[in-house]
Structure 1
Amino acid sequence: MSTTQTPAATIEVTAKDLQGPGVVACPNPKMALWSNHPRVFIDLAHGGVGQCPYCGTAYKLKAGEVISGHH
Protein backbone atom coordinates (compact mmCIF):
# COMPACT_ATOMS: atom_id res chain seq x y z
CA MET A 1 0.00 0.00 0.00
CA SER A 2 1.47 3.33 -1.05
CA THR A 3 1.25 6.34 1.23
CA THR A 4 2.44 8.90 -1.31
CA GLN A 5 -0.07 11.52 -2.33
CA THR A 6 -0.59 12.80 -5.81
CA PRO A 7 0.42 16.45 -6.00
CA ALA A 8 -2.55 18.79 -6.32
CA ALA A 9 -3.18 20.33 -9.71
CA THR A 10 -2.35 23.91 -10.63
CA ILE A 11 -5.04 25.53 -12.73
CA GLU A 12 -4.36 28.66 -14.77
CA VAL A 13 -7.40 30.92 -14.93
CA THR A 14 -8.25 33.90 -17.10
CA ALA A 15 -10.02 37.06 -16.00
CA LYS A 16 -13.30 35.75 -17.44
CA ASP A 17 -13.05 32.60 -15.26
CA LEU A 18 -13.30 34.74 -12.12
CA GLN A 19 -16.51 34.69 -10.06
CA GLY A 20 -16.07 38.27 -8.86
CA PRO A 21 -13.30 40.84 -8.61
CA GLY A 22 -10.23 38.62 -8.28
CA VAL A 23 -12.09 35.58 -6.92
CA VAL A 24 -12.31 32.03 -8.26
CA ALA A 25 -14.57 29.25 -6.92
CA CYS A 26 -13.45 25.74 -6.01
CA PRO A 27 -14.49 23.09 -6.85
CA ASN A 28 -14.47 24.24 -10.45
CA PRO A 29 -16.92 22.93 -13.08
CA LYS A 30 -14.31 20.60 -14.62
CA MET A 31 -13.77 18.61 -11.40
CA ALA A 32 -15.36 15.17 -11.10
CA LEU A 33 -18.60 15.08 -9.12
CA TRP A 34 -17.25 12.45 -6.71
CA SER A 35 -14.45 14.78 -5.64
CA ASN A 36 -16.66 17.73 -4.74
CA HIS A 37 -16.26 19.53 -1.44
CA PRO A 38 -18.00 22.61 0.01
CA ARG A 39 -17.66 25.58 -2.36
CA VAL A 40 -15.00 28.06 -1.33
CA PHE A 41 -13.92 31.29 -2.95
CA ILE A 42 -10.20 31.88 -3.40
CA ASP A 43 -8.84 35.42 -3.66
CA LEU A 44 -6.39 35.88 -6.53
CA ALA A 45 -6.42 39.69 -6.36
CA HIS A 46 -3.26 39.86 -4.25
CA GLY A 47 -0.42 38.17 -6.07
CA GLY A 48 -2.47 36.27 -8.64
CA VAL A 49 -2.27 32.90 -6.84
CA GLY A 50 -4.30 31.01 -4.27
CA GLN A 51 -4.89 27.47 -3.00
CA CYS A 52 -8.00 25.57 -1.99
CA PRO A 53 -7.95 24.62 1.71
CA TYR A 54 -9.99 21.45 0.99
CA CYS A 55 -8.38 19.76 -2.01
CA GLY A 56 -5.10 21.66 -2.36
CA THR A 57 -5.78 22.71 -5.93
CA ALA A 58 -3.71 25.79 -6.74
CA TYR A 59 -5.20 28.55 -8.87
CA LYS A 60 -2.96 30.94 -10.78
CA LEU A 61 -3.96 33.94 -12.86
CA LYS A 62 -2.63 33.37 -16.38
CA ALA A 63 0.31 35.61 -17.33
CA GLY A 64 -0.83 38.88 -18.89
CA GLU A 65 -4.38 38.67 -17.48
CA VAL A 66 -5.71 41.75 -15.70
CA ILE A 67 -8.34 41.68 -12.98
CA SER A 68 -10.90 44.33 -13.95
CA GLY A 69 -11.75 46.88 -11.30
CA HIS A 70 -8.53 46.16 -9.42
CA HIS A 71 -5.54 48.48 -9.49
Structure 2
Amino acid sequence: MSTTTTPKATVEVTAQDLQGPGVVFCPNPKMPLWSNHPRVYIDLSHGGEGTCAYCGTLYKLKAGEHLPSGH
Protein backbone atom coordinates (compact mmCIF):
# COMPACT_ATOMS: atom_id res chain seq x y z
CA MET A 1 0.00 0.00 0.00
CA SER A 2 1.47 3.34 -0.98
CA THR A 3 0.72 6.47 0.92
CA THR A 4 0.49 9.71 -0.98
CA THR A 5 0.32 13.01 0.81
CA THR A 6 -1.56 15.87 -0.74
CA PRO A 7 0.58 19.00 -0.95
CA LYS A 8 -0.65 21.73 1.34
CA ALA A 9 -1.17 25.29 0.15
CA THR A 10 1.55 27.83 0.75
CA VAL A 11 0.69 31.49 1.24
CA GLU A 12 3.48 34.02 1.02
CA VAL A 13 2.81 37.16 3.04
CA THR A 14 4.35 40.60 3.23
CA ALA A 15 4.91 42.73 6.31
CA GLN A 16 1.74 44.66 5.37
CA ASP A 17 -0.32 41.43 5.60
CA LEU A 18 0.48 40.98 9.28
CA GLN A 19 -2.39 41.36 11.75
CA GLY A 20 -0.13 42.10 14.69
CA PRO A 21 3.55 41.78 15.53
CA GLY A 22 4.50 38.78 13.39
CA VAL A 23 0.98 37.32 13.27
CA VAL A 24 -1.33 36.31 10.41
CA PHE A 25 -4.63 34.48 10.60
CA CYS A 26 -6.16 31.57 8.74
CA PRO A 27 -8.45 31.36 6.93
CA ASN A 28 -7.22 34.48 5.20
CA PRO A 29 -9.57 36.90 3.37
CA LYS A 30 -8.59 35.49 -0.05
CA MET A 31 -9.73 31.94 0.76
CA PRO A 32 -13.10 30.79 -0.62
CA LEU A 33 -16.04 30.71 1.77
CA TRP A 34 -16.36 26.90 1.56
CA SER A 35 -12.91 26.49 3.09
CA ASN A 36 -13.70 28.41 6.27
CA HIS A 37 -12.77 27.01 9.66
CA PRO A 38 -12.39 28.71 13.04
CA ARG A 39 -9.89 31.60 12.92
CA VAL A 40 -6.39 30.54 13.86
CA TYR A 41 -3.66 33.06 14.62
CA ILE A 42 -0.28 31.96 13.32
CA ASP A 43 2.95 33.38 14.73
CA LEU A 44 5.61 33.99 12.09
CA SER A 45 8.14 35.53 14.44
CA HIS A 46 10.07 32.26 14.83
CA GLY A 47 11.68 31.50 11.50
CA GLY A 48 9.32 33.51 9.31
CA GLU A 49 6.76 30.75 8.78
CA GLY A 50 3.97 28.85 10.48
CA THR A 51 1.31 26.25 9.65
CA CYS A 52 -2.44 26.30 10.28
CA ALA A 53 -3.43 23.47 12.60
CA TYR A 54 -6.83 23.10 10.90
CA CYS A 55 -6.08 23.02 7.19
CA GLY A 56 -2.29 22.66 6.98
CA THR A 57 -1.78 25.86 4.98
CA LEU A 58 1.79 27.08 5.32
CA TYR A 59 2.20 30.83 5.80
CA LYS A 60 5.63 32.29 5.22
CA LEU A 61 7.21 35.66 4.67
CA LYS A 62 8.07 36.47 1.06
CA ALA A 63 11.76 36.53 0.22
CA GLY A 64 13.29 39.82 1.30
CA GLU A 65 10.46 40.67 3.72
CA HIS A 66 11.27 41.32 7.36
CA LEU A 67 9.10 41.39 10.43
CA PRO A 68 8.81 44.86 11.90
CA SER A 69 10.81 45.30 15.08
CA GLY A 70 8.47 46.66 17.70
CA HIS A 71 10.43 46.14 20.87
TM-score normalised by structure 2 residue count: 0.87
Query: Please, what is the CA RMSD of the aligned residues?
Result: 1.7
Question: How many percent identity over aligned positions?
Answer: 75
Q: Which residue of 1 aligns with 2:6?
A: 6
TM superposition shift of 1:54:
0.1
Structure 1 segment 1-71 matched on structure 2, within 5 A: 6-70=6-70
Partners of 1:25 and 1:17 lie apart in 2 by 10
Post-superposition, which runs of at least 4 consecutive aligned residues in structure 1 deviate over 4 A?
A: none
Unaligned runs of 5+ in 2: none
Aligned residues: 69
TM superposition shift of 1:69:
2.2
- After TM superposition, the structure 1 stretch with the greater mean CA deviation from structure 2, 39-48 or 61-70, is 61-70
Unaligned runs of 5+ in 1: none
